[in-house]
Structure 1
């Protein structure tokens, strides 16, 4: 396989998406070269999927700047969608459990033949088009590491009978048929065993090394972080403050620490997480000075967390209706 990077470079600064009830994420920054493995880490409800959809042109950003393959977002969202592909995204790009592996592959190859090529390609003889479709499917299956002969019923195996890693590989293979410059994979490590997780990361690393830029959402990054561009969502967030409101504005150091929006997320930024016990103690001490009930202070923190999750959920709902 040609290892020349044909993937898309991805950059972002102060990037954010806002839903009707609050921010899904904000203050995200990254700088990834073509053929990079971009890992988005964060807890459920922290805006991970929203970030994936925004960077692939499926969701409109509300602040900051971003580019994918030199195409600015959100101005060139349609163009970004044409060079990106989604895999394993619940409610957006997911497998139909009632269909077989072969049916999924044939459907995707048919769509690629009808809408993924030029008019001249459609006018070629049928045997040439079929041969090209077979070549695309075979190459995608090989890149995703899915061996059809190892499945219980081969190509006739139903999706509901696939193991979790096999289903992930199939979803990735379907996305690769279109030859995307950026492949975005959601819930990469969801309910996978340690061995399966290692296999999934090996697959995605292989795709990146072959030249395709890969953006993968996960709860835990790969153990070997060499060459990984790490982006974290779910940092501490402050309530929105009007621009003309009195008071000091946050310092640059505060923003870099994630006190306003999510973590910066540049490659190699490991970031020390806050000790929960120290956080609770600090909240109690602050409440004591102001005469506030510590329990109420903790409830306020939980309310802000719930608002963040609601913002991410609302943004996802808007994307689904788009």
Structure 2
């Protein structure tokens, strides 16, 4: 009698006071305050992008809040996130614990039962006989499937039906059954009424009410909450997203000195000195082999030798323009070779 009472699920009270979560793009939600008694049905409603799923994950210890505080079953968040994860379970949450479409229903259930026994079971349970452990796993699976209202015989191929062949209501019930195998004190379900007809939506909410009545606290994200649920409405924060430390680029003249976001040009530097940063002190006509004013191409090797002479150094100091560079001919390059002793 006492053992059965201990195994029965008992809900966890959920308390939030000024609860808020901030991500890289700003606040996902903030200033959320409510109190839910054990075994309550809490509906988190709001428009898409208002932080409903983030609030669900934060209250189950999967995301770290940034302001305010909350408690789940007397465990404070975010300080006891790991402990909260042990007493809570998630239904299917897109991007977090989605069902594998290639797995069958039976494979999902057996895998979850094995994981539950391996990571959450006591040492004494692991020392039991294999037959006893297998019987306990089957009993847990049957209990969870019945509580989730999943009729295996009504599926196209029974328990061998692949997840990809399930309709939306059956997939939702399977995800709830997988969560219930761990007998959580807090059950969290995302997108409760997504892609459901009115009749299916009514059945799903009836299922969640029955789970709450059995003692499990239920958090359900939805677009429209039923009247008998504790409604928590999330609203997208009005505070704008914080900008990065980098200055915004000017779409008209990006990177031009004198425009916002562009570095100012140091005083006293001309075009020839700016070219020093790229390793070329002379103007482009010498370093790139472009045609001169006399339409004769300059030999690049001879031009570099010319640049090492005294005449080239003097020209750099005075900011020689392209006209002076154009006067360099092949004879001038030969004279430069003779002056440096390399002819």
TM over 0.5: yes
Residue 60 (structure 1) shift: 0.2
List gaps (5 residues or longer) in structure 1: 242-322
Give the structure 2 partner of residue 60 of structure 1.
Answer: 64
Conserved 8 A contact 1:185-1:215: yes
The structure-2 alpha-carbon separation of the partners of 1:234 and 1:138, relative to structure 1 and needing over 3 Å to count, comes to same
Does structure 2 conserve the Cα–Cα contact (< 8 Å) formed by 1:36 and 1:208? yes
How big is each residue's C-alpha offset from its partner over 1:70-124, in whole Å with a ceiling of 9 and x where there is no partner? 0000000010011000011001111111110011011001101111210110000
Partner of 1:229: 230
Please give the TM-score of this superposition, normalised by the length of structure 1: 0.71
**1:196 maps to 2:200:** yes
SS in 2 for 1:189: coil
Q: How does 1:45-194 map to 2 (within 5 A)?
A: 45-194=49-198
SS at match of 1:15: strand
Higher RCO (CA 8 Å, separation ≥ 6 residues): 1
SS at match of 1:12: strand
Using the alignment, how far apart are the partners of 1:5 and 1:159 within structure 2?
Answer: 28
CA deviation digits over 1:212-253, x for unaligned, max 9?
A: 00000001112xx22x21100115624589xxxxxxxxxxxx
For the Cα contact (< 8 Å) 1:5–1:34, is it kept in 2? no
Instruction: Provide the secondary structure at the position in 2 that maps to 1:143.
Output: helix
User: How does the TM-score come out when normalised to structure 2?
Assistant: 0.67
| 1:191-217 deviation per Cα after TM superposition (whole angstroms, max 9, x unaligned) | 100011111101111100000000000
Q: Are 1:21 and 2:25 an aligned pair?
A: yes
Number of positions where the alignment pairs a residue of Structure 1 with one of Structure 2: 238
Greater C-alpha Rg: 2
Instruction: Indicate the SS of the match to 2:134.
Output: helix
Counterparts in 2 of 1:185 and 1:58: CA distance versus 1, 3 Å = same
Distance 2:88 2:8 in 1: 18
